Structure 1
Amino acid sequence: MFSLTQTTSRQREIIEVVFGNGWDYMRGLLTGGKTGKTDEPNLPPPAVLRKVLVELGPVYVKLGQLLSTRPDLLPGEYVEALTDLQANVPAVGWSEVEIQIRQQLRQPLEDVFSSINPQAVAAGSIAQTHRATLKTGQDVALKVQRPGIEVIVAQDIALIRSLAELVSRTNFGEDYDIVGLAEEFATALQAELDFSQEAGYTDQLRRNLSTSRWFDPTQIVVPEIYWDLTSKKLMVMEWLDGVPLLLAKLPAMRDGKDADTQRKELTTLLFRAFLQQLYIDGFFHADPHPGNLFYLSDGRLALLDCGMVGRLDPRTQQILTEMLLAIVDLDAQRCAQLTLELAESGQPVSLSRLANDYDRMLRKYYNISLSQINFSQVFYEVLQVARNNKIRLPSNMGLYAKTLANLEGVARSFDPEINLLDEIKPLMTDLFRRQLLGDNPLQTVLRTALDLKSLSLQSPRQLELLLDRVTSETLRWNITIRDLDPLRRSMDDSANRLSFSVVVGSLIIGAAIISSNAQTSQLSLISNVLFATASFLGLWLAISILRSGRLR
């Protein structure tokens, strides 16, 4: 729990940054102020939030980068502000880096490398990269973890978990599982500290893109990993000569193709490589920002930095493919149904209200040419509608949306004439054919035939069992009808009132009969008692009905 009277130096530093930027809601959380259960987290403007995260240091920059992958939680302007968030971290001195490298190698550094450039070619919040040459003459990139970063990460993760516990006590925290988000961040950050895991992702992506029906695999490059030199804190990979794609100056002529033709072919290659990852492989590079897409000197395209990846299971791939088609068709009803199929179970949602929200959202695209529609922006709006209806979607939907947004942004910047629909349409038939028949149509047909054979063999026996139970009166039906209990209670109350009214009426009739034939004072007394009791019970019944509508 945070408080001003008992804090660590790191907590005090966080409080000072929050105070200095005027974030009142977070100030209340940190100082133990009053934040009610129904208080919505009051975020500062996007630029201020970005500034706070940068000032708090590398771990919080990583948190911002993770939040930029969750458009299902944050509005679009926040996602945009956090997308290119980078820590302003200077490179660590070579003397410290050299010690780290020597500790990770299984043999002396001098026996492995003929030279290492002591100046980092890139520096990030977790690691920095140096260029080196192996004794064999091959140029490689050394990604080295910053010394001491594990201690900082452990401290900041503990603080973020504490903050998540505080926010979880609000309705917002319950609706969006802030504690789960904090755990997801902790898991992702701890995985990022293990470079052997990133090396595994890089190898898997390299294998997946080595074959394709949609593009020439020789034109896409993922760096090769040198596993004998790679460890948890050091990753050694193939050095690729090139520049970021958006900075590339295409030659006037290459292989008989002018610059415009090359640009179009590279954009198509980029799209098809990522569409295969998303809709075929189910394993995708989740951070295709301009710095991770390189144009190599030989004209090929390279994908770098596989530290952030996403996964989609076959069912989700199918739903997202249909969602893409529903967006193209501007079909609000289908979008609503597919959103509920994606949603985590157990969430009461009104389908009609959701469809109406989608209809209002898609209506503005009715008179716009499909070639002008920004599909990633539409999908962000789909997630916004889901968020407004308090629908909790799997976290990989955020990664999927961010990947599409980054991909579309790079493609439009590189080739402003790109028509995304023209890039997608040739692949849609293949995608639906694959979903219908699978990768091996013959195997799918044989499996279906076996299922039909099993059904035909089992059905007579199951029908015989059903008829046997019906005739022997041993069949039981377990039926659960929603809202049946309130209906049962209402009928019980009505029956009670009716019975009570009959009793009151009988008392009145009995009293009248006794009064008309009363011969003695005792009979008159009984008659008066019955009349009084009936009047009291009748008055009680009337008041009960008027006050509560049901007899208690």
Structure 2
Amino acid sequence: MKASALNIATTSTLMRYEKVFGTFIKYGFEDLLAHPPLNRLVPQTNRFVPSRAGRKVSEFTRYERIRLVCEELGTTFIKFAQIASNRPDLLPDELITELAKLQDQVPPVAIEEIYATMAQEFSRPWQEMVEYFDPQPLASASMAQVHRARLVGGREVVLKVQRPGIREVIAADIAILNQLVGILESYFPALLVYQPGELVKMFEQSITEELSFRREAANLLHFQQMFRENNQVLIPAIYQELSTDKILCMEYVPGYKITDLDQLSPFNITGKELALRGIGLYFEQVFEHGFFHADPHPGNIFVLEDGRIAFLDYGMVGTVSERDKLLFAQLLLAIYDQDVQGLKKAILKFSTGLTKDKERELEYDIIYVLRQYASIALEDIDGMEVMQGLNALFYDYKIKLPANLLLLLKALVIMEGVGLQLDPHYDIIANIGPYVQRLLSKRFSPLRLRRELLRSAEDTTNLLRELPEDIREILRKVKEGKLHIEFEHKGLQPTADKVSESIKLLSYTLLVVAIIIAASLIVVAKIPPLIDGVALWGIVGFGLAALLALRTIFSLRTRK
């Protein structure tokens, strides 16, 4: 999506460049635009403004002025800032705090424009399918607005309609962001630590997904499948015949925001009950399904009069792999147990290139973070403070976490805030514990161990099968004088240790396979003594193989 600032094809795009650059200048960022080719498009008006809301702009911090720029430039820049605020591993805490203040509530567009979009998107006149359409929106955001409607036949629905022209604005803004990133990387090398190119790339991917309502529809259908047997949850039905890439038609949910306790009290629904059930359903999404709602603020969680809970707005979701779920569980348990080494190992899983000295520094910083909570009762620990402490470690040591895991950390902070609104004594750490323990117990279930053992046996068999051919190939190259070995010594001891460890694990795996084969032959041959017709030594062999397999898997899981 990179575009040259010298090849602007349309007047509207040129005007957008001038608007963006003028806003940067107003808030004191003229230095970013003083380099070619952007300096040729810098407007001569709208110089540095003297004040904003009765306060001199010169008194604002640089991070505050970044937020003000995003607010004034609207949709794309607000969304970019919100997504960037999910990366505490790349941005300083002060900037994250400012970006988190941004809201994307905007005035609704004219109803005639909404009607025009519906006429363009549907294959036949929408009036033939919709018998009532409320021109007053239920919600209006920067990307879309939501209207209540009733289909022919009486079904109550909501129509989420994308704002007209929003795709063109976003495309132009992404081109501008790429231009700015090029300037930053070329002329301001000190800013490379924030990885601006990666932030823009991540934003472009996220905003493209959010612009596609078909993807949101697919997310909603996935949630329906996840909770199809749970009668405590309502996932809105989707009407495919009235859903397109720019319009989403869903079942209307006649409920109340989860934090509207006064509205819910006549139905004997208490805040404490909602905190346990509602946030428990969220933990289920994360730890059991690995697919979670990534924007769980109170406006997106409704409660029906019968007590069912409905999650709304599936434009932003996250996924967690089995490996990351286990890592996150280990991280939480390490915090709970004040386990410095366990927390260090969990964090280092995502780091690259940390020297031993840096690892020692990280260990001392972890001790400092955990010591703050050593004398505090579990129920009094502020989960948000814990997350902020971890985020500071990620940033200070340039430990890069997967975007989805950071999205999960932020979502859990939001959920803790919801829980405390519902129940002032809600303890997210204690309530997340059973889900973490269940995940860890599944990790070492007999079925899973058997599956991993078979996978290890298959890998070993493949290695042994291919080994003779590989040796022949090496010998052939030696004979022909074509074998070239490049050798560079940069501290062989760690490598030698790892090779030694790998050889030991391979030996254990081969031994396990050999014992299983031998035990199987003994059982098949029914070699006495027998117990209920099964060879005793075969049973002993299987037990021994299981113990060795557990030891091998434990070694694999505990080594760095």
Q: TM-score, normalised by structure 1?
A: 0.74
Distance 1:458 1:119 in 2: 67
Corresponding position of 1:142: 159
1:478-489 pair list within 5 angstroms: 481-483=489-491
Corresponding position of 1:489: none
Distance 1:114 1:423 in 2: 46
Task: Report the Cα offset of residue 202 of structure 1.
Answer: 1.5
SS at match of 1:342: coil
Distance 2:394 2:19 in 1: 36
Q: Is the counterpart of residue 29 in structure 1 residue 35 in structure 2?
A: no
1:249-328 pair list within 5 angstroms: 249=262, 251-252=264-265, 254=267, 259=269, 262-328=270-336
Q: Is the counterpart of residue 381 in structure 1 residue 399 in structure 2?
A: no
Q: Is the counterpart of residue 340 in structure 1 residue 348 in structure 2?
A: yes
The residue type equivalent to 1:220 in the other structure is V
Q: Is the 8 A contact 2:334 2:342 kept in 1?
A: yes
Corresponding position of 1:87: 104
Corresponding position of 2:429: 421
The 1:356–1:138 alpha-carbon spacing in structure 2 relative to 1, beyond 3 Å, is: same
Distance 1:384 1:443 in 2: 36
SS at match of 2:135: coil
The 1:435–1:294 alpha-carbon spacing in structure 2 relative to 1, beyond 3 Å, is: same
Corresponding position of 1:206: 224
Residue from 371, 393, 402 that aligns with 2:379: 371
After superposition, the C-alpha distances for 1:246-285 in whole angstroms (9 at most, x for unaligned) are 223255564xxx55xx322211122222222222222211
Task: Report the Cα offset of residue 27 of structure 1.
Answer: 2.4
Instruction: Name which of structure 1's ranges 11-20 and 384-393 shifts more when overlaid on structure 2.
Output: 11-20
Residue from 430, 450, 462 that aligns with 1:445: 450
Instruction: Tell me the C-alpha RMSD between the 2 structures.
Output: 3.4
Task: Report the Cα offset of residue 145 of structure 1.
Answer: 0.7
Task: Report the Cα offset of residue 61 of structure 1.
Answer: 1.2
The 1:328–1:162 alpha-carbon spacing in structure 2 relative to 1, beyond 3 Å, is: same
Q: Is the counterpart of residue 49 in structure 1 residue 49 in structure 2?
A: no
After superposition, the C-alpha distances for 1:304-323 in whole angstroms (9 at most, x for unaligned) are 11111112211111111101
1:489-504 pair list within 5 angstroms: none
Distance 2:466 2:157 in 1: 66
Q: Is the 8 A contact 1:379 1:401 kept in 2?
A: yes
SS at match of 2:349: helix
Q: Is the 8 A contact 1:330 1:366 kept in 2?
A: yes
Q: Is the counterpart of residue 233 in structure 1 residue 246 in structure 2?
A: yes
The residue type equivalent to 2:329 in the other structure is T
The residue type equivalent to 2:423 in the other structure is D
The residue type equivalent to 2:20 in the other structure is I
Q: Is the counterpart of residue 10 in structure 1 residue 23 in structure 2?
A: no
Residue from 91, 104, 109 that aligns with 2:126: 109
Q: Is the counterpart of residue 353 in structure 1 residue 370 in structure 2?
A: no
Distance 1:457 1:167 in 2: 49
Q: Is the counterpart of residue 120 in structure 1 residue 137 in structure 2?
A: yes
Task: Report the Cα offset of residue 45 of structure 1.
Answer: 5.4
The 1:477–1:365 alpha-carbon spacing in structure 2 relative to 1, beyond 3 Å, is: farther
Corresponding position of 2:193: 175
Instruction: Name which of structure 1's ranges 347-356 and 234-243 shifts more when overlaid on structure 2.
Output: 347-356
Q: Is the 8 A contact 1:54 1:88 kept in 2?
A: no
After superposition, the C-alpha distances for 1:444-488 in whole angstroms (9 at most, x for unaligned) are 52552574588589879979x99xx99xx999999764158xxxx
Instruction: Name which of structure 1's ranges 69-78 and 320-329 shifts more when overlaid on structure 2.
Output: 69-78
Task: Report the Cα offset of residue 158 of structure 1.
Answer: 0.7
Task: Report the Cα offset of residue 420 of structure 1.
Answer: 2.1
The 1:141–1:336 alpha-carbon spacing in structure 2 relative to 1, beyond 3 Å, is: same
Residue from 210, 214, 221 that aligns with 1:196: 214
After superposition, the C-alpha distances for 1:301-355 in whole angstroms (9 at most, x for unaligned) are 2111111111221111111110111111222332222112123x45657211211
Q: Is the counterpart of residue 19 in structure 1 residue 22 in structure 2?
A: no
Stretches of structure 1 lacking an aligned partner (at least 5 in a row) = 34-42, 212-216, 485-552
Q: Is the 8 A contact 1:175 1:392 kept in 2?
A: no
SS at match of 1:249: helix
Distance 1:339 1:122 in 2: 40
SS at match of 1:246: coil
Q: Is the 8 A contact 1:263 1:414 kept in 2?
A: yes
The residue type equivalent to 2:246 in the other structure is K
Distance 2:15 2:127 in 1: 41
Task: Report the Cα offset of residue 429 of structure 1.
Answer: 2.3
Instruction: Name which of structure 1's ranges 169-178 and 374-383 shifts more when overlaid on structure 2.
Output: 169-178
The 1:410–1:46 alpha-carbon spacing in structure 2 relative to 1, beyond 3 Å, is: farther
The residue type equivalent to 2:418 in the other structure is V
Corresponding position of 1:535: none
After superposition, the C-alpha distances for 1:204-239 in whole angstroms (9 at most, x for unaligned) are 12222334xxxxx21122222111211111110111
Q: Is the 8 A contact 1:376 1:401 kept in 2?
A: no
Q: TM-score, normalised by structure 2?
A: 0.73
Task: Report the Cα offset of residue 391 of structure 1.
Answer: 2.3
Corresponding position of 2:90: 73
Q: Is the 8 A contact 1:69 1:402 kept in 2?
A: yes
- Over the matched positions of the two proteins, sequence identity in percent amounts to 30
SS at match of 2:113: helix
Q: How many residues align?
A: 453
Q: Is the 8 A contact 2:158 2:250 kept in 1?
A: yes
Q: Is the 8 A contact 1:316 1:342 kept in 2?
A: no
